[in-house]
Amino acid sequence: MSFKSLSIVSAVLLALTGAAQAQNRFANGGFEDAQATLPSNNGPVAAPDATKAQGWIPAAQGYDRSSDAHTGSWSALVHQLNMDNSGVMLQNSKATGGMPNLVAGETLKLSFWSKADVADSLAFYTIGYSLRFLNDNGNILFNTGFVDFRNQINNNTWSQIMGGPVVVPVGATAAFLEFSAAGGARLAAYKIDDVALVPEPGTYALLLAGLAVVGVMAKRRRAA
Q: pLDDT digits over 60-106, tens only?
A: 778 999 999 999 999 999 998 888 889 999 999 999 999 999 999 99
Residue 214: pLDDT over 60: no
- With beta carbons less than 8 A apart as the criterion, state whether 130 and 147 touch: yes
DSSP state of 115: E
Query: Has residue 46 been placed in a domain?
Result: no
Query: Has residue 69 been placed in a domain?
Result: yes
Residue 25: pLDDT over 70: yes
Query: Has residue 113 been placed in a domain?
Result: yes
Query: How far is Cα 200 from Cα 9, in angstroms, rounded to an integer?
Result: 20
Q: For residue 74, give its domain range.
A: 25-36+51-198
Q: Tell me the percentage of the chain whose pLDDT exceeds 90.
A: 58
pLDDT value, residue 17: 43
Rounded to the nearest angstrom, the gap between the alpha carbon of residue 27 and the centroid of all alpha carbons in its chain is 8
- With beta carbons less than 8 A apart as the criterion, state whether 59 and 89 touch: yes
Any idea what the CATH number is for the domain that residue 86 is in?
2.60.120.260
**Cβ atoms within 10 Å, residue 9:** 16
Structurally, how many domains does the chain consist of?
1
Query: Has residue 3 been placed in a domain?
Result: no
Distance between the two ends of the chain, CA-based, in angstroms? 14
Query: How far is Cα 80 from Cα 97, in angstroms, rounded to an integer?
Result: 24
User: CA nearest 50: which of 76, 82, 25, 71?
Assistant: 76
Backbone CA torsion sign across 169, 100, 58, 108: positive
